[in-house]
Amino acid sequence: MKYYTGIGSRETPDDILQEMTHIASVLACHEFVLRSGGAYGADTAFETGCDIQDGCKTIFLPWKNFNKNNSSLHLISDEAMELAGDVYGDGWKYRKTPVKLLMARNVYQVVGMNLDTPSEFVLCWTPDGCESEKTRKPTTGGTGQAIALASRNLVPVFNFANKNRIEEFRTFMEKQYGLH
């Protein structure tokens, strides 16, 4: 299986959301499995594109019926919580349970249900264009948790807030997978 992570801000611009839907549709045709989190905005755009082609997806939720999503993947393991805390950093112990569950859900989006199968790449949009743990800031938002974990696992991140990243992603797909 070829997994990818499709995530991002709820404030993703409409033109980028449309592009995300299109890309997810194309990836579904090429049997890539979407990993996402059921949030409004970017997550929903990726899921919509995957659904257009009846593609495979794993939608990890922080709790049952999050945003009215009916995915059954809503139970967070102690191991995922521990990994999320490690990635989050010093402030973890001060976070409320719902925030911890959201951050732990992000862990699954990058490394899968068993925490041992990193995605091939991460596609996202954040207001600050973050693409690594090193460039993560408070303005990156919750997507920064997944980006940081991707960095730790050497998973390429394509943040569509950055100029030319959609075109660079297409070049990457052609070189890595022979897709046009």
How do residues 37-71 score in pLDDT, each as one tens digit?
999 999 999 999 999 999 999 999 999 999 999 99
Indicate if the pLDDT at residue 34 is higher than 80. Answer: yes
Can you give the residue range of the structural domain that contains 158?
A: 2-177
3-state secondary structure the chain: CEEEEECCCCCCCHHHHHHHHHHHHHHHHCCEEEEECCCCCHHHHHHHHHHHCCCCEEEECCCCCHHHCCCCECCCCHHHHHHHHHHHCHHHHHCCHHHHHHHHHHHHHHHCCCCCCCCCCEEECCCCCCCCCCCCCHHHCCHHHHHHHHHHCCCCEEECCCCCHHHHHHHHHHHHHCCC
Confidence at 180, pLDDT banded by 50, 70, 90: confident
How do residues 127-136 score in pLDDT, each as one tens digit?
999 999 999 9
* Overall pTM > 0.95: yes
For the chain, the domain total comes to 1
Instruction: Write the CATH number for 34.
Output: 3.40.50
Indicate if the pLDDT at residue 179 is higher than 90. Answer: no
